[in-house]
Structure 1
Amino acid sequence: MVNFEGRVAIVTGAGGGLGREHALALAARGAKVVVNDLGGARDGSGGSATAAEGVVAEIEAAGGEAIANAASVTDYDAVAAMVDQAMAKWGRIDILVNNAGVLRDKTFAKMELEDFRFVVDVHLMGAVNCTKAVWEIMRQQNYGRIVMTTSSSGLYGNFGQSNYGAAKMALVGLMQTLSIEGAKNDIRVNCLAPTAHTRMTEDLGAALPLEALGPDLVTPGLLHLVSDQAPSRCILAAGAGGFERAYVTLTQGVRIVGADAPEQVAAQFDAISDRTGEIVPDMGAAQGMIELSKAQKAHSA
């Protein structure tokens, strides 16, 4: 039984969509929840605490405990104040779900740099701000569960979403390192890549079978990623009741040196790309070790 009795969770972007489902589900299983939502439009403009307060009311009506917070995740001081609010009320923070996000979609040719910066600031730096604000608390507790909300647009690309995709893939890199650094204090860090019909996907319309893509079908995966039994360094994809894992892999490749090395890279690109024996590295140094092992074998031959 996945249970969160005695746990305190912060869920950003929890005024609607996926964040709301996450907050409601955590509260239903015993967590005390900070429902954070700036309450702005999908592009990040505007702001109101009304959405967050509405979710808190739902949680309280069901017998749970929650507080609303309208801090922008891009404002570190406001995020730190949110964390202080939770600590003052409940004395600990066990779970952080970095879910807040915005969209400003355009092709790269037509996109203003400000729109690129803003989307990266909300998704990437917003998660950095929230994570930094709780990190020392979790280290002192020797317990923490953090989820970054990534996307297939970051993992695999999507037309018109260079800003969003770049930010979402950056969150994977953040997760990879934080999971290593947090391991000794039982801070487990994972990524969730959801497919769901929310305000963020409403423009897709008939391109998706929207009735099958309820955000509630993603949340069970989130609950596992923040539970006592959570994995770490996992990229969990979820949507329509389906769950998959994505991996960043490394092929065995080949060693090429010499004056004609550029030509040989081209000639042997299929061999370089051969996925036979590919690995999921424990850390970035694995790439260098594979490359050095090829050189050592060549020298000892």
Structure 2
Amino acid sequence: MTGICTGRVAVVTGAGRGLGRAHALALAAEGAAVVVNDLGVAADGAGGSAGPARQVVEEIRAHGGRAVAHTGDITTDDGARSLVTTALDTFGRLDALVNNAGFLRDRMLVNLAEDDWDAVMRVHLKGHFLPLRHAAAHWRAETKAGRTPDARVVNTSSGAGLLGSVGQANYSAAKAGVLGLTLVAAAELARYGVQVNALAPAARTRMTERTFASTMAPVEGAFDAMAPENVSPLVVWLAAADSAGVTGRVFEAEGGRITVMEGWRPGPTLDKGARWSPTEAGEAARGLLAAAEPARPVYGAS
């Protein structure tokens, strides 16, 4: 198979269903050998099965591609290490890491249990950090050995991480953390030939079917704007050598739309040159807010 990822090896976490599956298939279609990671859990993280990962591997191989399943838990150090080792032992190299694994434990803040908070932080944030750390250690070793990689990392954030989402305090906080991790990793890993970017996708998956149930049903014969496969072309390009020079950026992708997101930037400012009194500070803040762009509403806010 040939394409813009020919000769490259990509790891995709959470690749047994939804967006991860679409990414894995699209990477393989463009020539990449793919490590398909998935625990096969339910939408809330319960249970587990090797079936989803193996099924995606079979799909890739049926179309002439190369793939191997990895069913380890990438939120543990051993599982994340074995993920990287699987790529190296099976295909001899690692060129791209697509961090995508996740699940939901949605509750309003006052009903959000500590276990629900910890579980979502573990899979979304720690599940990004540990694979990234082990992949980065490999790429650093390659650089020190005189073989500077041309490597890529694509992290998965969310509109909830950009704006917040009512009923998803844990998920929003974790996905905002992914953005911070992306920016730091892009700065730190550039010296090792690694580019790191983040994506905030919108698509029809198990995680979103209840949220968008009224707007997500595809119309026969029309463009299915919520299909996960619409997001994957950008992921493939970000994982390819063609994306040279693009790092530390955040994209939104939905249907046929791609948006470069522009994060926190200084807006109106006022410097007194001395300490403010509380009243003065309040007056200054109100004046600055009047001159600033209005904040975008949190998803689900009335």
Specify the code of the residue in structure 2 equivalent to 1:48: S
**1:124 has 2:111 as partner:** no
Deviations 1:203-243 (A, max 9, x none): 12544234220001111111222121321011100011111
TM-superposed CA distance for 1:83, in Å, is 1.5
**1:177 has 2:151 as partner:** no
Structure 1 residue aligned with 2:283: 267
Aligned residue among 246, 252, 255 for 1:237: 252
Gaps of 5+ in 2: 143-147, 219-224, 294-302
Give, in whole Å, the separation in 1 of the partners of 2:266 and 2:214: 33
Question: Do the aligned partners of 1:123 and 1:167 also contact (CA within 8 Å) in 2?
Answer: yes
Q: How does 1:71-90 map to 2 (within 5 A)?
A: 71-90=72-91
Give, in whole Å, the separation in 2 of the partners of 1:226 and 1:57: 22
Aligned residue among 256, 265, 268 for 2:272: 256
Aligned alpha-carbon RMSD (Å) = 1.7
Give, in whole Å, the separation in 1 of the partners of 2:61 and 2:3: 21
Give, in whole Å, the separation in 2 of the partners of 1:52 and 1:72: 13
Give, in whole Å, the separation in 2 of the partners of 1:74 and 1:267: 47
Query: Runs of 4 or more off by more than 4 Å in structure 1?
Result: 257-260
Identity, % of aligned pairs? 39
Question: Do the aligned partners of 1:142 and 1:185 also contact (CA within 8 Å) in 2?
Answer: yes
Question: Do the aligned partners of 2:4 and 2:237 also contact (CA within 8 Å) in 1?
Answer: no
Question: Do the aligned partners of 1:2 and 1:224 also contact (CA within 8 Å) in 2?
Answer: no
Q: Which has the higher contact order (CA 8 A, sep 6+)?
A: 2
**1:20 has 2:16 as partner:** no
Structure 1 range deviating more: 132-141 or 28-37: 132-141
Length-normalised TM-score, structure 2:
0.87
Give, in whole Å, the separation in 2 of the partners of 1:261 and 1:246: 36
SS in structure 1 of the partner of residue 211 of structure 2: helix
Structure 1 residue aligned with 2:261: 246
Deviations 1:85-134 (A, max 9, x none): 22112111110000000100000100101100110010000110111111
Question: Do the aligned partners of 1:150 and 1:193 also contact (CA within 8 Å) in 2?
Answer: yes
Decide which structure has greater helix share. Answer: 1
Structure 1 residue aligned with 2:55: 54
Structure 2 residue aligned with 1:164: 171
Structure 1 residue aligned with 2:195: 188
Q: How many residues matched?
A: 276
Give, in whole Å, the separation in 1 of the partners of 2:128 and 2:212: 29
Give, in whole Å, the separation in 2 of the partners of 1:272 and 1:260: 15
TM-superposed CA distance for 1:182, in Å, is 1.2
TM-superposed CA distance for 1:245, in Å, is 1.5
TM-superposed CA distance for 1:272, in Å, is 3.3
Give, in whole Å, the separation in 2 of the partners of 1:190 and 1:25: 18
TM-superposed CA distance for 1:2, in Å, is 5.9
Gaps of 5+ in 1: 277-301
